[in-house]
Structure 1
Amino acid sequence: MAPPPPGFVGRLLRRLPWLTDAIVGTVYGCVAVLLATISAYPPLRTPLWFTLALLAGGIVVVTLRRRYPVPTFIAALALFVLSALAGTGAESIVAVVTIFTVGALRSTAVAWAGFALATGVGCLAAVILVLRGRDGLPLWEPTQLAVTADPVNDWFNAAILILVPFLVAALMGVNAGQRRRYVDTLVDRAAQLERERDQQAEIASAAERERISREMHDVMAHSVSVMVALSEGARATVTERPAESSEVMSRVAETGRRTLAELRRLLGAVPEAADSTSPAHSPQPDASHVPDLAADFRHAGLPVELTVEGTPAADPALGLTVFRIVQEALTNALRHAEGATEVTATITWSSEDVTIVVLDDAPHSARTSPAGASAEARQTAATTGRGLVGIRERVALYGGSVESGPAEGRGWRVAARLRWAEEQR
């Protein structure tokens, strides 16, 4: 069963903990001053300087009890024993407050262990009070002691008066601590559920985008196939039956318009998880973006020198593959080439293939994980795929080859070669 919600006063004291300390300190100070004033005169004659010292210590304990629950609890028990020796007994308020604080801010086991310690100290304080006698004089004046007629009964009564408030404070503190832990658990659970909800929404959004992508592929494959077949037929009959060819081309145009409308409908159903200007909506990069990529890695702290030889292919798929391979190789250097003073990236285009070589000069013994990289460098590295495995998969699409391993002397070398046809320019 959930505990009832706190009232206005409880919420106010929880929001302003210093207000609770101020109230406790004020009550304790007033009681201590009142008892010190009363006991300063005969027959009690409690030393004023000793009472003021205990008051100062008690105020310090009340002020620091939230930050240091256990040390202030032990200090409060010590003040209580000293107060029983020659004080007014006002420090019992501080002991009760610290017992409650330990129960509220520490575990249940610690709370009851503290209560057991407080019980022993309370029994000792009861013995001291009995020894002080009925006159209430300081214990260091033994010549004026007045031993009671029934010390055992007096000790029992004094112990009951001390331990009952201690027990009540311990029970209240443990209850408050359990309530605080329960609320913390509810807050953590709510945060976890919120994260799980966001993750499920993201998974559902990704699944929907995947479904729409498949539908777009089917629509485009079917429509393009129809358009190609119609176009081929129109080309074959354009000289002999121009009227029918014109009608066929009209059907091609109609098919194209219908396909565009279908694609717009499908794209409109894609959930917008981010702003249209975010990287997820940006056009795919190609070979012309490699200089910008190198500049980004230089800004992240990797000393990259880029060299491009030949004329890049106009094929966007090949350009994207080259871009990703350079990105993966430079990320590998960023992550592991600690102490590298030079990283060279060379892209050589020819009529038959394109060669990519990325070489760093970091010592083999200095290659390390990216734990020491800067936050910006790790962010740059996080945008890449699966390292060398990804490079091999991309190269395999073009029937090429890839080599990676330690270079001669020092450093690491990644070399990839992709074959392509000159007609793709």
Structure 2
Amino acid sequence: MTTDTEETPRPPGTTGPSRHAQRLLDHTRAFDTRRPWVWDTAVTLLWTVAALVDAAGGWRNTARDPSVPAWLVVTLSLALAVPLYWRRRHPTAVLAVMAGATLVSDGSGAFLQAAYLQMLPLFHIALSRPPRALLWSLALIAPPLVTDAIRFPSESWDQRVVPTLWAYALVALLGIAVRSRKDHTAGLVDRARRLEIERDQEVRLAAAAERTRIAREMHDIIGHNLSVITGLADGGRYAAARNPERAAQALEAIGTTSRQALAELRRLLGVLRDDEEDAARDPQPTLADLDTLITGVRKAGLPVRFETRDEPPARPLPPGAQLTVYRVVQEALTNTLKHAGPGAGARVTLTYTPDDVRADITNTGETAPPPTPGQGQGLTGMRERAALYDGTLECGPLPTGGWAVRLRLPREDSPS
């Protein structure tokens, strides 16, 4: 009996009597799993009654010696039927007890038909025990057959022994077939569960990766724009008393930067909505937007020198690689605004080679302090972006003071 209490899945479209029969079978299996003693008791009582009915006189129709004492026939009948209660838990021991009773039955000439009940424990041996247990079963079943054939040689061996052995062999094959089907079903169930676990893990990993990407984008967008706005606000506050016109320009720049930040934030949040077309209408920044980025940083009060070495390649970088360069430059300049101190300046150098694209961002201000626990997300985000395109990112203090960030991204058509 199966140990699974859930209903067996049914193919779609199963209706009518077959569906009700399958449902009844599922409920029967579930009940047997919860209370196995009920079924074992019912089977044992059924065959015990049948054996005792045969012991009342019907056994003489097939007996080799009808003069066998009645008490011996009743005793053998009980020995062949009662052990069936333990056939599922101890099938080999049950078969041994029944084989002993069968040996006495065939040796005495009673030849009780209840001996064929040995097929039940034999089936459970084939169903739940190792294959070598069937060899021991043959050693238990064969002696009574041989004893009967020798003691009462009224029929030939092929009529007395071979048909019975074939019947036992078919029962063993049936048990093996049921066992193979159960193992196959259990394997499918286990595989389905493992696939479900792997699917859940992949979903969690994808969700974690997406959260990391969104957090990185949020950090780059909000961190940079807030730093620019802070610089513009500080500059406007100092200029308000001496040069109101410069203060108005600072306020205008603050408004422009705020609108840009809001637009980028809306684009990022649009990715989380179901309407992907609306989210993709606003393109991601590219290398062509570096001039606008650097202009905004200059307005915030940080002198930036931008230099491009060699001509851009005829075939442009992929949009993702261009976004990586843009974000790294953006993060480096943002860190300069926040940490380099007054009087600092920055230099951005973009170099194109046949094999790669390099971006060097240096500043002449103070060296940024090491990040405390829970901070430093910008450096981590830059390294993650570079790693996505097999690139490298190096950052650290300069011997002459200041800080340097060096990014290298290989071209797609260059050797990895």
TM-score, with structure 2 as normaliser: 0.51
Tell me how far apart the structure 1 counterparts of residues 217 and 374 of structure 2 sit (CA, whole Å).
24
Q: Mapping of 1:270-309 within 5 angstroms? A: none
Deviation at 1:186, TM superposition (A): 0.6
Who wins on radius of gyration, i.e. which is larger? 2
Q: What number of residue pairs does the alignment pair up?
A: 252
Q: Deviations over 1:140-168 (max 9, x none)?
A: xxxxxxxxxxx274444221342122011
Counterpart amino acid of 1:76? M
Identity, in percent, stands at 27
Does residue 72 of structure 1 match 2:94? yes
Matching of residues 75-154 of structure 1 within 5 Å: 75-86=97-108, 87-107=110-130, 109-110=131-132, 113-114=133-134, 116-130=135-149, 133=152, 151=153, 153-154=155-156
| Separation in 2, partners of 1:188, 1:88 | 47
Q: Is the contact made by 1:64 and 1:72 (CA closer than 8 Å) also made in structure 2?
A: yes
Match of 1:140 in 2: none
Distance in 2 of aligned mates of 1:229 and 1:28 = 96
Q: How far 1:61 sits from its partner (Å)? A: 2.8
Alignment of 1:195 onto 2:197: yes
Instruction: Rate the CA distance shift 1:153–1:84 in 2: closer, same or farther, 3 A.
Output: closer
- What is the distance in 1 between the residues matched to 2:123 and 2:244? 99
Change beyond 3 A, Cα 1:50–1:23? same
Q: Which amino acid is the alignment partner of residue 15 of structure 1? A: A
Report deviation, 1:210: 1.3
Q: Which structure 2 segments of 5+ residues have no match?
A: 1-9, 12-17, 274-370, 376-416
* Structure 1 residue 72 displacement after superposition: 2.6
Q: Which moved more, 1:33-42 or 1:66-75?
A: 33-42
Aligned equivalents of 1:90 and 1:28: distance in 2? Answer: 11
Deviation at 1:244, TM superposition (A): 4.9
CA distance 1:211–1:130, change in 2 (3 Å): same
Could you tell me how far apart the structure 1 residues matched to 2:227 and 2:48 are?
92
Deviations 1:360-405 (A, max 9, x none): xxxxxxxxxxxxxxxxxxxxxxxxxxxxxxxxxxxxxxxxxxxxxx
Q: Given that residues 123 and 172 in structure 2 are in contact (C-alpha distance below 8 angstroms), is that contact kept between their aligned partners in structure 1?
A: yes
What is the aligned partner in structure 2 of residue 180 from structure 1? Answer: 182
Distance (Å, rounded) in 1 between the aligned partners of 2:253 and 2:138: 97
User: Aligned partners of 1:58, 1:13: CA distance in 2, in Å?
Assistant: 27
Aligned to 1:236: 238
Q: What corresponds to 1:219 in structure 2?
A: 221
Letter in 2 for 1:209: R
Partners of 1:213 and 1:168 in 2: CA distance: 67
Distance of 1:161 and 1:117 partners within structure 2: 20
What does the per-residue CA deviation read over 1:69-89, in whole Å, with 9 as the maximum and x for residues that have no partner?
Answer: 333333333333233234552
* Residues 40 and 47, structure 1, Cα contact 8 Å, conserved in 2: no
For 1:203, the aligned partner's letter is L
In the TM superposition, residue 171 of structure 1 has moved relative to its aligned partner by 1.1
Structure 1: gaps spanning 5 or more residues: 134-150, 272-316, 322-425
Q: Does structure 1 retain, via aligned residues, the 8 Å contact 2:233–2:250? A: yes
What residue identity is the alignment partner of 1:124?
P
Q: CA RMSD in A?
A: 3.7
2:111 and 2:27 map into 1 onto residues whose CA distance is: 33
SS at match of 2:242: coil
- Amino acid in structure 2 at the alignment position of 1:234: G
1:20, distance to aligned residue in structure 2 (A) = 5.3
Alpha carbons 1:99, 1:169 under 8 Å: kept: yes
Question: Could you tell me how far 1:38 is from its partner in structure 2?
Answer: 1.1
Tell me, yes or no, if the aligned pair for 1:83 and 1:90 is still in contact at 8 Å.
no
* Matched residue type, 2:124: T
Matched residue, 1:63? 85
Distance change in 2, residues 1:159/1:48 (3 Å):
same
